[in-house]
């Protein structure tokens, strides 16, 4: 089935929920034509939410002829409003919006919710405009205090809309709505599984690369490791991996990555020690986006240098995931840019290698499942996420060898204590941040003027949203004492209790 992307941050989350219901899904841009949809012959279509109002100039629309194809359609949030507007209903202007949890009240029989669903229950809303009148042939089957039409249904045409977001966990009956739409109304059979991704991607990789060589930008994290394993299964010895030690890695990481990779993967690996070059490139650079782009550009230059002996190499394999894409502007360029990801916004325009990104439609937990399916060991699959620019985005301000050394020691303590507490599988990420400030302290009856360390630990399912981890106080105390006692120049430790949103997981 197809998910039509109207610039929503959560279009891929919808596609992921569909896959959890064992139906293959593919995201397509809203500019897709009816003829293109017909050629793809989908069993169903879901219209995503989006940041625009249907009333503003330039708001994304859908080819009206798609409604005439006879394919079952479900509109979510903006998608529901677009259905109402395009098929003759009314979307009110200047109404009071709903953001967050709201109470949905059902009206009569619904084809999307069976009788086991409570007549009143919580749903998650994120809208300003609201549908006030349904098009001819539709019926309103639910409302909320600020959405007169929270569900609209046309059983004959099999076109449905919901104002709330069924794809998020905050709508407890949302998965039931998606399941009913896909399995019962659209007749999609629950037969898709993770091994299907492997089969599909192997075919795509072979088609793209052909008989040429590919270089994988190995970072040691789960994303690039799984990408390397998948591409290697597709093209075998045509793949060479390049591990660039930027000098911005975690303590002891380079040695561990090289040893683990060579022991488990059996792929040609080139190890490049380029720390000095990265520090020279980052000298005096303090703005976050400038740092990301500087690191990304130098990465590519080094990759290009080390393909010199592989004259037929024309491809760069990267472990880009969907959250990386969506935060960098979305698959269709309609989502808001939150930050340039190392694999997305930091690439130079004149790069000579064509990208191979076999994981770009997946979330982190799906990548881990894929890695297990490919036979990778747990020590690779369950490594905590680590940003491509490394510690460069966990140091606020200028990146220097001295500041990296300080952060490496503090970060090692955080990770060691998380592991000792048995929380590695429960915590999505736990790490240290070195801000560009100093504070007064007292150590050994002497006044100090040192740097603080900020500990960041979050829980998440997919990195699109995250909550700060409720770590035990005694664990935080041990971290604080060890960091202050063992890391020179640090005299204060703070804990970040910001969720995403409004913050991001990384600090830069």
List pLDDT tens digits, range 464-486.
778 999 999 999 999 999 999 99
165 is catalytic: yes
Q: Which of 165, 306, 341, 451 is catalytic?
A: 165
Q: Which of 77, 140, 216, 241 is catalytic?
A: 77
339 burial type by CB count under 10 A (0-12 exposed, 13-18 middle, 19+ buried) = middle
List pLDDT tens digits, range 169-199.
888 899 999 999 999 999 999 998 888 889 9
- E strands within 45-97? 45-47, 73-76, 90-92
List pLDDT tens digits, range 97-134.
667 788 999 998 999 998 889 999 998 887 668 889 99
Strand, helix or coil for residue 469? coil
When the pLDDT of each residue in the chain is averaged and rounded to a whole number, the result is 86
Going by C-beta distance under 8 Å and a sequence separation of 6 or more, which residues neighbour residue 365? 461, 462
Angstrom CA distances, 439 to 381, 391, 449, stand at 39, 22, 5
Give the pLDDT confidence score for residue 188 in this predicted structure.
Answer: 95
* Domains within the chain, CATH numbers bracketed: 2-185 (3.40.50.880), 194-381 (3.40.50.620), 394-495 (3.30.300.10)
Is the four-CA dihedral 210, 212, 213, 219 of positive or negative sign?
negative
Q: Which of 98, 153, 167, 417 is catalytic?
A: 167
Going by C-beta distance under 8 Å and a sequence separation of 6 or more, which residues neighbour residue 308? none
Q: Cis peptide before 501, with omega less than 30 degrees from 0?
A: yes
List pLDDT tens digits, range 291-316.
989 998 898 788 778 766 666 678 88
Which helix H or strand E contains 38, and what residues bound it?
helix 34-40
């Amino acid at each position: 089935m197809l998910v039509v992307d109207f610039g929503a941050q959560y279009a891929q989350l919808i596609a992921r929920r569909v896959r959890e219901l064992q139906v293959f899904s593919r995201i397509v841009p809203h500019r897709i034509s009816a003829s293109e949809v017909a050629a793809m012959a989908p069993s169903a279509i879901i219209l995503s939410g989006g940041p625009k109002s249907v009333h503003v100039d330039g708001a994304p629309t859908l080819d009206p002829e798609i409604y005439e194809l006879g394919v079952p359609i479900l509109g979510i949030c903006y998608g529901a409003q677009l259905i109402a507007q395009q098929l003759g209903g009314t979307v009110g202007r200047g109404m009071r919006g709903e953001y967050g949890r709201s109470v949905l009240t059902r009206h009569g029989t619904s084809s999307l919710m069976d009788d086991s669903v409570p007549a009143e229950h919580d749903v998650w809303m994120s809208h300003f405009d609201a549908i006030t009148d349904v098009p001819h042939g539709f019926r309103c089957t639910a409302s909320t205090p600020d959405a007169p039409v929270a569900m609209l249904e046309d059983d004959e045409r099999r076109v449905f809309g919901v104002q709330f977001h069924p794809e998020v966990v905050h709508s407890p009956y949302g998965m039931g709505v998606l399941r009913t739409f896909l399995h019962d109304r659209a007749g999609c059979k629950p037969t898709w599984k993770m091994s299907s991704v492997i089969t599909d991607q192997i075919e795509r990789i072979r088609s793209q690369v052909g008989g040429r060589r590919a270089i994988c930008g190995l970072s040691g994290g789960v994303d690039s490791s799984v990408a390397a394993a998948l591409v290697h299964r597709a093209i075998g010895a045509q793949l060479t991996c390049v591990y660039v030690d930027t000098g911005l890695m975690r303590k002891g990481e380079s040695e561990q990555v090289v040893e683990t990779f060579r022991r488990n993967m059996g792929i040609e690996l080139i190890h490049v020690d380029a720390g000095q070059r990265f520090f020279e490139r980052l000298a005096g650079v303090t703005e976050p986006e400038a740092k990301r782009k500087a690191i990304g550009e130098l990465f590519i230059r080094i990759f290009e240098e080390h393909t010199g002996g592989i004259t037929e190499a024309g491809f760069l394999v990267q472990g880009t995931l969907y959250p990386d894409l969506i935060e960098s502007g979305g698959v269709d360029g309609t989502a808001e840019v939150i930050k340039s990801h190392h694999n997305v916004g930091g690439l130079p325009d004149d790069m000579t290698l064509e990208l191979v990104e076999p994981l770009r439609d997946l979330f982190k937990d799906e990548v881990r499942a894929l890695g297990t399916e490919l036979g990778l060991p747990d020590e690779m699959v369950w490594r905590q996420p680590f940003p491509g620019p490394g510690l460069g985005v966990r140091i606020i301000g200028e990146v220097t060898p001295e500041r990296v050394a300080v952060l490496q020691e503090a970060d090692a303590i955080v990770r060691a204590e998380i592991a000792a507490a048995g929380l590695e599988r429960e915590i999505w990420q736990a790490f240290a941040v070195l801000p560009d400030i100093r504070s007064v302290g007292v150590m050994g009856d002497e006044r100090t003027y040192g740097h603080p360390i900020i500990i960041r630990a979050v829980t998440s399912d997919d990195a699109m949203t995250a909550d700060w981890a409720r770590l035990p106080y005694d664990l935080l105390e041990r971290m604080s004492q060890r960091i202050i006692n063992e890391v020179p120049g640090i005299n204060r430790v703070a804990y970040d209790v910001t969720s995403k949103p409004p913050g991001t997981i990384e600090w830069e």
